[in-house]
Amino acid sequence: MMIKIEREDNSLTKGLQQFFKQLLETRGIDALFSPVRLKDSTSIMPSLVTDPAQTENAIPLNPAFPMNSARMVSRLSYKESGRKTAVVLRPCEMRAFIELIKLKQGSRKDLILIGMDCPKALTPTDYAAYMNTSPLDNGPLDDDAYIEKVFSQKNETLNDFSFSSACRTCENPFPVNTDMSILLHGVDLSEGLVMESGSDIGKQILESMGKPEAAITETRDEILTRIKEDNLKANQAMVKEVEEGTNSILKLNAFFDQCINCYNCRNMCPVCYCKECVFNTDVFYHQPVQYHQWAEKKGIIKLPTDTVFYHLTRMAHMSHACVGCGQCSNACPSDIDVFGLFKSVAQITQAAFEYSPGANEDESPPLSVFFEKEFEEVVGINENS
């Protein structure tokens, strides 16, 4: 089922905010989790809204992506709260949350999952610069102008700021595994947005809203196909560049030579969920004499040590679950292209397991299940089986 979310005061954003307000006022939903513009600030952060009046600050369709919110939704749902919460997530956030559900780190039992056609994102640094752009320099677009620019299909840059590499190389920037989805591709935005149901509960909610039914244009499939093709080309170019820059031990060491072991990439990764990381244990808290012995053996050692080992270990642990959100690179204070390398490796891992993270909630993650006939080209064939 599809309904039209009409403009409010000729505004797409206000129309969507009015929809959220109705959800909280009349539909048995206790809270809304959505990106919200903070009071007296240009910052937009994930927030939990219980007051319908506060939905006037909900801005889910914007270029701010300070964090992958899947981990916050995990915190809201890993135990029952008795509150029904509507959760608005970007496609990569939705895929990450589905992975966390599989890992028993969250549940959709008390949630209404609302996805969207992705509005793309700037890096946090670029977003801050974009918001501080002077109006005399064609300053930041208002919320509606941003939406219309992005979904006009003429959106390679935004006022000379580039969208993040994660967005430019994303294979599936469209809603998946949702109860409801905000559709913008193939939609006549002059009239409003389209909300589509993705489950029985989503259909029931939309039917109760009293909104006019809607339809999307026949060109939507063509648009989605073209976006996938364009992003695939960008992805292939990125992979080639990363491979050329890391195809030897010397190059790999150089790639990570500015890593300071801050672990920001681990902390911002939505699916790197271990309660205790081996790199925070005594295994990697070396005795002072060890550093001296290593230095005496080679004449010099770089500190901190174990930086490449850390990244390779994390890659081995979770490359099958990488959803390509790019937050690892966003969080790196040394501007290392962690995302580029991780996604390049993750694609190989996921292809080997024929696994797409977050695509199918009922599909078990690799390494959690084993099959008799698997990777026979590696382990050999048991002639007695």
pLDDT for residue 161: 84
Confidence of residue 379 (pLDDT cuts 50, 70, 90): low
Comparing C-alpha atoms, which of 147, 156, 222 is closest to residue 182? Answer: 147
DSSP, residue by residue, 37-96: EPTTSS-EEEEEE-SGGGGGGB--SSS---S-THHHHHHHHSS--S--EEEE--HHHHHH
Position 227 pLDDT exceeds 80? yes
Q: What tens digit of pLDDT does each residue of 317-344 get?
A: 889 999 999 999 999 999 999 999 999 9
**Rg (the chain; Cα; Å):** 23
Residue in this structure with the two tokens 């793309």, named with its chain if needed: 120
Joined tokens for residue 160: 């000379």
pLDDT for residue 323: 96
Position 88 pLDDT exceeds 60? yes
pLDDT for residue 222: 93
Reduce the DSSP state of residue 315 to 3 states and report it.
Answer: helix
Position 382 pLDDT exceeds 70? no
Position 198 pLDDT exceeds 90? yes
pLDDT for residue 277: 86
Position 191 pLDDT exceeds 80? yes
Q: Where are the alpha helices (DSSP H) in the chain?
A: 12-26, 70-77, 91-102, 124-131, 143-150, 165-168, 200-208, 220-246, 249-255, 264-268, 288-298, 307-318, 327-330, 338-353, 376-379
Residue 275 sits at the vertex; the CA angle it makes with 269 and 277, to the nearest 5 degrees, is 75
pLDDT for residue 164: 93
Burial degree of 75 (CB within 10 A; 0-12, 13-18, 19+): exposed
